[in-house]
Structure 1
């Protein structure tokens, strides 16, 4: 997917006043104002610029297809969920899950809760009416500024998301999760390689160059959860 046409232009919009704002918040607001992906997302109706990240990953890895069952973990504000609904089409089923409440997204079931809890997992599977074809996670912990600590924190989230995916994915299914530069630690990567046929890392163009984020994309789930959904509807 091509980046927005003005992605490479030097934009210099500045806030008229910094009154009442910290230096950090002013920098963040100016970056938002000058970010072509933010403007493109707004123009396209996406809830966040992150929508372009999953679109670019899809272009590279072919993650989506019509009729899929998809789970979006840590879905708020809903950019990835919107993309999933569009790509899965009217015959697909999309569940967006977050600890925070979300505004309605047509075509998606939005749940508020912790995916580690059995009741929440059950609610997700009931909404899907069967095992998932794709589990996505754009979750990230609050950063501390200490690279080693932040790396460990996000790996912890990835490990939890992977555990969830291993319980709900259909054979051949896919898993996508945010990690930080440095990739996935050896033990977790080995677990992914055991559970999936192919595991790759990628940094989509929509990820800011100064950001440490990248994504792990695992395809071809080797497990078999079909026996858990013998009564599931199509």
Structure 2
């Protein structure tokens, strides 16, 4: 397994991404095709920036990527890629959603690679992961356009099936994805929700 991880680390470095986590997004996009030219993408827990950089390359110059993290991130974009706006916020900050709504009229994709600082307690780490997933879902419910996509990291455990059910109440299709680039022994998986249905939350669809 170490050889596999060394491969992804070396590949990320060669392709100028700050972390090998980029391939956990790339694998899902290549299989499910949820990133498209011209989209607006919100990347929660964006630091150190690999997912935002990758998404910017896919959505292109007509798209927009907004990366949010409580750690400051400020990487230069690339010619022909989407402009990236780096916002330094905690996702629980009450001002965050208002700032996003004021500046951008919603998003077609919400990504989240957020993870808790592990404590060594599987139960505590799982609970904190579920809290982050639910916060990402709350933000997605407020900002996603109809038929939008949600792709979010989660640690499996006792409450995981309940969170998947919550996703199924919001999206037409929900899959649990385990990328090859994720450590085999890790409880890390990704929830992919496609076909967001805002009316299920009593939210009127806004113009894109």
Q: Same fold (TM over 0.5)?
A: yes
Of the three residues 110, 115, 119, the one matched with 1:135 is 110
Question: Equivalent residue for 1:157?
Answer: 132
Q: Deviations over 1:114-143 (max 9, x none)?
A: 23334221222344x311101000010011
Rounded to whole Å, the distance in 1 between the matches of 2:187 and 2:161 is 19
Q: Bigger shift: 110-119 or 83-92?
A: 110-119
Higher relative contact order (CA 8 A, sep 6+): 2
Q: 1:209 to 1:189 in 2, by over 3 A?
A: closer
Of the three residues 53, 77, 83, the one matched with 1:82 is 53
- In the alignment, structure 1 residue 124 sits paired with structure 2 residue 100: yes
Please give the TM-score of this superposition, normalised by the length of structure 2: 0.88
Which of 1 and 2 has greater Rg?
Answer: 1
Secondary structure, aligned partner of 2:75: coil
Secondary structure, aligned partner of 2:9: helix
Question: Equivalent residue for 1:114?
Answer: 90
Q: CA RMSD in A?
A: 2.1
Rounded to whole Å, the distance in 1 between the matches of 2:158 and 2:59 is 29
- Where do 1:52-201 residues align within 5 Å? 52-106=23-77, 107-127=83-103, 129-182=104-157, 185-201=160-176
Question: Equivalent residue for 2:80?
Answer: none
Question: Equivalent residue for 1:39?
Answer: 10
Q: Deviations over 1:29-79 (max 9, x none)?
A: xx9xx7111110010011110111100011122120001110000100000
Deviation of 1:186 after TM superposition, in Å, equals 3.6
Moved over 6 A (4+): none
Q: Decide whether the 8 Å contact of 1:170 with 1:226 is kept in 2.
A: no
Rounded to whole Å, the distance in 1 between the matches of 2:186 and 2:122 is 12
Please give the TM-score of this superposition, normalised by the length of structure 1: 0.79
Rounded to whole Å, the distance in 2 between the matches of 1:136 and 1:183 is 23
Q: Which runs of 5+ in 2 are unaligned?
A: 78-82
Rounded to whole Å, the distance in 1 between the matches of 2:159 and 2:59 is 28
